[in-house]
Chain A
Amino acid sequence: MSERKTGVYLCSGCGIGEAVAMDELETVAVKEFKAPHCAQHAMLCGEEGVETIRADLAEGKVNQLVIGACSPRVMTDRFQFDNAQVIRANLRELVSWSHAPGDEDTQAAAADYVRMAITQASKTTAPEPWIEGEYSQRIMVVGGGSTGLMAAREAAEAGHEVLLVERSDRLGGHARGYAKVIPHRPPYRDPQPNDIEALIAAVENDPLITVKTNCHVTKTSGMPGKFQVELANGAGPSNETVGAIVVATGWRPYDPSKLGHLGYGVSPDVVTNVELEKILAAGQPKRPSNGQAPKAVAFIQCAGSRDPDHLPYCSSVCCASSIKQALQLVEADPECSTYIVYDELRTPGVAEEFYRSAQAKGVIFLKGKVKSVGANLTVVVDDALIGEEVPLEGLDMVVLATGMVPNTTIPDLPYENSEYAAAQLQADINPLSPIPVAGYQGEAPAPLPRPADNPPPGAPILNLQYRQGPHIPMLADGFSDSHYICFPYETRRTGIYTCGPVRRPMDMGEAAEDAAGAVMKAVQVVRNAAKGASVHPRSGDLSFPRIGYNTCTKCRRCTVECPFGAIDEDEKEYPVVNPTRCRRCGTCMGACPVRTISFDNYSVEMISSMIKAVEVPDEFEEKPRVLILACENDAYPALDMAGINRHTYSPHVRVIPVRCLGSVSLVWISTALESGYDGIVLMGCKPGDDYQCHFVKGSAMAKERMGKIADTLKSMALETERVAQMEVSIAESHKIGPMIDDYMATIDRIGLSPLKGF
């Protein structure tokens, strides 16, 4: 960049001009900061205002812009200019809409936001994207069941080449054996014909799709746009390059041999729902024992599900699948009596319509616990609806509705034991240890053995050659981890998207939608990767972490703590960033003890300078200053919303948006304390098992790190309350005011910081 000429533009519209003295703000820019150009406007976002800025840029008067107006989250299209970086000072939502107009404290806040913005401008450059070599637009789909087939077709329809890898000898998965399926088309009342054969044919005939059967992935390295995949099939290994990976490895049934208490094994006429599918697919239903048509069949729901001794979770589809099977039996023989014994019937969404239809057709639903299943097939139910123990006698068959186990590993493809992978899985699935966090004051963790040396039991699906391990991170129940509410298909490995029952239990209709969703993400990542741009939530961001190797101490905090496993280690154990795996959260930057990781437009120094730019009143003024480091994903929008709703709170706070609480460097805390701030608040998303963090582990990491600084504060004879972490979701703007004011009361109680004026 040539010589930096920062123009400061101050807008007095939307009540800003009534709340603060604009001339005093101009004085800050011109006198304090010697800004080469400063202008005021009554409505900067209007055509005339924007034109003024464009003219100044064209004249070469300015080449970088500080705009003191509304929140950086709004009017982004108006304040976007070619070849000029824009820095925003939020004078509207954070100042004039949330503090008393004409008050000296309001004025002081506005002046500080101008100071921070001008300071930020001096410490940032427009990001240069990382673009290197070739990028593949091809999407690999792992798993050729109904989910994988849908994914392949969706990707091909979006114009992408597809590599479909299936372990067995043919496509179709479980679905191939179903005569009929749970309805996912209106009117949702009857078992629906299975279209799997047509789907298989469509995939096999699609010129954009290459199908490989009898094939599995033995190794995956690289990054989005540049994944290197090693495949094995009978013919030996082969290598492929793909841009993104959709994992649709599906499910397997829970092992029924563990269900002896429900009669499995006492009679050939006690079968699982999976076994009944085969019977139904074979034509007219027959009892396994004697080949006769069944006249009375009981389904036992939650067979091994929602049971702490078996599968602790609900598989969500077994209720609808039993309804489907009961209706198939009734269809085959209207005289057949069918009983569905349930504890709680779960028919979410339109499946409720299916349930109603089954009731209308005479399927009997009994609520109660099964006490025993006898060899003569008498099922004794503690019937909760008529309040007595009931023997269901004269049954011909008993069907156990077993649940789904996700294929997040390949159990029948044993891998040699690896403590490393086991450790990864342990860390992944234990909600109490979200990630191995390096204590700031403690020792860095020892390097773990490389996955290639020590693979885990049960092969990982992709066998990722990542520093953080070969598996796609999973939850305690074995399903792959994702941001359940906001970004369901995102795993914690960028460019790799899980869908279908490997992500959560679901039926084919849901899995088809899931496949489409995951493919859309895969399409986005291959396209963005080629432009050096991030995917969500910082979609389009061109910055990426740059590591200053001259000062790097190889402490490995960044490689261990990255929520997305974006950073590997080279043979000398230096961190190596894989830029297209990076989501730009800055957790590595927050982790780095030597401050050697930074982004072009986001750095430890930039925020530290902004913190120092605030004028902290001396101890005699008796006006506290509290720094709020607010997560830009939820907390900062919530602060904006508080302003929009005109909720007022203490004018003594100064807010700096951060990419994620995970990016907060402890240096900022010490800088703020040294500068005489009286308190520091980290405001961000809920961490933990049911996290809200957009970067999955960022806020958990911040909490972990903040837990460690209490000791530091004590050693400095400071109160631990001076640093606080607050959880706020985007919908909780009404809590902002009370939260801040409560904290100000705390500061009032413990008194002003003793470090002022040092």
Chain B
Amino acid sequence: MSKKYTFYPGCSSQGSAAHLDRSLRAVLPKLEVQIEDIDDWNCCGASVGHIEGGFIPQSALSARNLAQAQTQGPQDVMTPCAACYLNTHATNERIRNDEGFKGKLNEALAVAGKSYDGSLHVRHACEVLVTDVGMDKVAAQVVNPLAGLKVAGYVGCQTVRPFANTDRGNHFDEYDRPKFLDDFTRAVGAEALDFENATSCCGGSVSVMSPDKTLHLMKKILDEAQAKEADVISTPCPLCQTNVEMYQQQINQKYGTNFNIPVVFYSQLMAVAYGMDPNKDAALNQQIIPADKLKGMAK
């Protein structure tokens, strides 16, 4: 039976994480997950918006999205982006628990004739797949098991922190040693490496602005992936994917390393394992570091 969600793709879906967007939209119908985008969604403010904008304006960004989503139905809001999930979820939770805050945001929304009552639930796409769809169903769609592909599951931070426990009361996963990503890897028939840096930070937005401060963080992640002979690093987080992939060259320059490890989204692995088109569906042509071994496995 198919289930419907209101979908919040986030800004990166139109840029750096276009391949997450493409591959996820390709596999969701196979799992009977229906999505409808939030009409005219806006940016969530990420982890820097509040600095210049301030706390209430930052929250107002999420409030506008939620207000819009509410007009589209009572179904849960689902987002594949870690930062979008964190911000929207945090704002939603606060609206629900703090009447004063809720009042302030509705006052702001009112200037555009909008309002939001706090009744929606905000969920991460991975959590929906784990909890609502279930790993059995994820595995059942596999027609092209990725046997022999060694995958380092790199979860990053904001997918599980601070909201590993969702507001639906579902226990999504652990803060420090989450297992859902490795479950995806195994579900598609690949080998999940024991990856200690699964939740080490890539530097997030600090890596975008001042990579010099954080290259060593990404190096640590890459070091382990290389030592464990990972064929690919898999991640659910748009910013993690971009940072860890695009800085490899700079890291090599700075530290004399020779990293060239493809970083893909879990949904790209699923698309390939589901026998879908490696470019049109799995969006593997959008890798800066080509995932050749994975691509070679595509049917």
Does A touch B (CB under 8 Å) in the complex? no
* B positions within 8 Å CB-CB of A: none
Interface residues of A (CB under 8 A from B): none
